[in-house]
Structure 1
Amino acid sequence: MSNGPATSLARRRPSIDIVDAKVAVDLATAQTYSENVFLFVPNLIGYSRIILAALSLHYMSYHPKYCTVLYCISCLLDAFDGHAARALGQASKFGAVLDMVTDRCTTTSLLCYLTSAYPDHALFFQFLIALDFSSHYMHMNSSLVTGSKSHKQVDSDVSRLLRAYYNPTTLFIVCAGNELFYISLYLMKWVHTPLSESFGITGYFGTWTWPELMAAVSAPICLYKNIVNLVQLWKASKILVGVDLAERAKAREEEFMRGKKD
């Protein structure tokens, strides 16, 4: 009795399936300076992103210039840690998770502020927070259980949309545009001078402020990003259910084989 899905699942698993938690803690404690994952350059960049994001949050309620500059630098550094990891051979699971957690927490903190700045749209921002976290959490777990080396490696036969999205160039543009939209909404609460006064622009757009124009340009990118989040959530859910079904089929096969031996 053979089972195709269970066999395929086994083929996709890495050579080392499980590492004992105590062994992992001991290895991390005893790591040498030359091979200290905590001190890898990409992870140092990650720590600096956290500090900059924290400073940005500190200024968010009363100093929009400092807040925006610090927030943007923190987001832009996200483009460098991956390059550093590949160039220095310092890619790590810790770094990948640190990067994702920093992204999620930074964006969520800004969205939390927007819920207070736009109370009539608080439910919308809460939905975006829930979607962002659930989508990436499910996707990360589905990547782990299927033995993928990175959550950014998606086969085209799983999802052509996600494979295209995780192209480094596309990922940078979409993530930058998404953050730009949220930053624009934040700045709209502070900037009220129309373009006709600040830049001498006449006509229809002259009545807009520059954050409003920036929000209008980046809104389609934000929409696309959240469509990707929905697709990612659905695909990850299907992968996890598929793993459940394959493992249940494998358990039945093993039970059947034990019954034949008896």
Structure 2
Amino acid sequence: MSAKSLAVATPSGRSRALLIDDAEYSTTVIRQGSPIPWTDTTMATTHFDQVRALLNPDALWVDMGRLFLAHTDSRPDLVTAMGARTRVGYPLRTLLTDSDVLAASREMMETVAKTARRQLLLHVPSPASWLATAHEIAGNPLSEVDADRADSASMYIAEWLGQLGSLPVALVLLDARNASLAETLADYTAVTNVSSHFGWTPAMWQDERIDTAQDHASIGLIGAGFWTGDTDAPVPDADVLVTTIPASASPERVLDQLAKLS
């Protein structure tokens, strides 16, 4: 499965695949301000089925940063384990190799995908970002994340992705927008190799664009203004469209704008 497969035959029936970062919007509209129940398979399945019914995305957007944060928030023992060593990268590797988190998150994603009949988009912090965040959670913040440290973190992320091969993933989207150093998809061959092995599309989200390998589907960004009243917000010419619906968007306008993308 890949982003290209979505572009060839969209589950929604749209002319082009639409992938929606809905976490803030669905928290406001569906959850009425309550957090998304990432750690509860039954409740998460209900939530994502409601997302599919409301927005009809061509793949379900799974925010791995939020998912793992929900687990660390509920597992003080895991946070303690992450901080047990001062070695750079130890908190991230401890987090990604925790057997309970891996089993619970994999079960949740498998059930969500099967119930909603959609592939998944894994929205993953970039190696530099996730490395820094894990150290912050563990109470051992890093003064600097350089390219070598980020590369080591990418190995941990690749190992973790290797445990998710049974999932129907279309896209692995590394988010480098908040990273402390410049990152490119070419920097992380371990991640791209694992993704390609499973037939997933690897991509990297930069400030103004999403980069993919040349042989994969092109991905264009629709700005948040499209959903909040910017009448000039462009819809790019790309195989797959990615967008974030802000929490402030009105449900009526969102439905109207979704109809324009059909």
* TM-score, normalization by structure 1: 0.31
Q: Which has the higher strand share?
A: 2
* TM-score, normalization by structure 2: 0.31
Q: Which has the higher helix share?
A: 1
Where relative contact order (Cα < 8 A, 6+ residues apart) is larger, the structure is: 2
